Amino acid sequence: MLTCRELFEFLHDYLARDLSLAQRASFELHLTVCKHCREYLATYKKTIDLTCAACEPDDDVPEDVPEDLVQAILNARRSK
């Protein structure tokens, strides 16, 4: 079973559905026994939702915002 630290390392891949079936099963098993990780996952998802709501794709993005951050937000929005 994954440790809490390992779960954090796989969090993005889990939400992007980029884990193998075995990795996903291990991730979800950890969530069934770890209240703290379930709460962390919920707040992580909420942060993504709030970020997506605050930054509509048609909005002008300030030039000083890194392109990889913009793409990560847009990818998270698409994977919802």
Instruction: Give me the residue spans of the domains in the chain.
Output: 4-78
pLDDT at site 57: 59
Cβ neighbours for 20, distance < 8 A, ≥ 6 positions apart: none
- Please state the pTM of the whole predicted model: 0.64
Which of 1-5, 6-10, 33-37, 46-50 reaches the highest mean pLDDT?
33-37
Task: Please give the Cα distance from 55 to 41 (Å, whole number).
Answer: 21
Mean predicted confidence (pLDDT) in 56-62: 66
